[in-house]
Amino acid sequence: MLVSLLRMGGIGSIWAARHLGLGKDVAVKFMSASLATDPTAIARFHREGALMARLKSPHVAEVYEHGVAEDGLPYIVMELLRGEELSDRLARAGRFSLEQTVALVSELCAGLAAAHTLGIVHRDITPEHVFLADVGGSPSVKLLDFGVARGDLDCDGTTLTATGAVVGSLVYMSPEQFFNPRQVDGRSDLWSVAVMAYQALTGAPPFEEKGLEALLGAIRIGNFPLPSARRPDVAPAVDAWFVKALSREPSGRFDTAEEMADALRQAAASGRPPVAPAGAAGKAS
């Protein structure tokens, strides 16, 4: 039973609803009627539901079912999230503390680890596709929107995004998504996470040149200001983490989401001042 409209967009709408069979409040994503006559769009929509239904992680929005409504519109039923998109939080807060950035990366990487284990590459990780949810009074990062994800082949042996096709959102796309799409793998998702982490920590993305040609040129070269140049309290170990995470070549990056998150936690810890023993404060030497 539909309750209220949450969001309307070009590809469809999302509604809050009550699932009578499950006995819980849910969110229902409907495909736009204007796209419901496009076989490729329909297949991609169903594929998104099928891929997300396979993912079982507290940091990926849970999908309960997907199908076609009586009016012919494809739908996906997923958990109803309360909170806000990362894009809205960044617009309001400007930037995060190092601790908040580490938590963001850790939880995103946990969700991506679950996806990558199943051979699913998201390919469009942006602040609009990351949700900061309130789960039982505690914050939790949730990865959304697997609409252009690459995963299993379809039953006829074809994929729903052409091999070599450029997909994603420009600022957060890895170099290989632009220049060698056939080589995109999980490390491309990790690049996108690093771009968002840089933006969260410093208040601006690492590559912010205006215009497509200038942006592509900056990403191709791979030079960006170290975070400490924009935020002096950033430690050298954290700078080094970003240099590796944003390596132009995938082979220069972290190999897995778990490795990437662990390395940032260690880098952040190495930059903290040591904790004085109890009773040491104020002692004369």
- Ranges of CATH 1.10.510.10 domains, the chain: 83-270
The pLDDT tens digits of the residues spanning 234-254 come to: 999 999 999 999 999 999 999
- The residue count of the chain comes to 285
Round to whole Å and give the CA distance between 234 and 201.
9
Domain 83-270 class in CATH: mainly alpha
Round to whole Å and give the CA distance between 177 and 187.
11
Domain 2-79 class in CATH: alpha beta
The pLDDT tens digits of the residues spanning 141-191 come to: 999 988 888 875 443 333 444 444 444 478 898 999 888 888 899 999 999
Round to whole Å and give the CA distance between 106 and 248.
22
What is the pLDDT confidence band of residue 272, given thresholds at 50, 70 and 90? Answer: low
pLDDT reported for residue 186: 95
Paired residues of 9 in beta bridges:
12
Catalytic residue among 25, 38, 71, 124: 124
211 to 131, 170, 191, 216, 218: CA distances (angstroms) = 28, 10, 21, 9, 11
11: pLDDT strictly greater than 60 = yes
% of residues, the chain, pLDDT over 70: 88
Cβ(200)–Cβ(95) below 8 Å: yes
Q: Is 72 helix (H, G, I), strand (E, B) or coil?
A: coil
State the chain's maximal CA–CA distance in angstroms: 80
- Ranges of CATH 3.30.200.20 domains, the chain: 2-79
Active site residue 124: yes
What is the pLDDT confidence band of residue 83, given thresholds at 50, 70 and 90? Answer: very high
Predicted TM-score of the model (pTM): 0.85
Six-digit token pair at 198?
């840089």
* pLDDT: which is higher, 109 or 43: 109
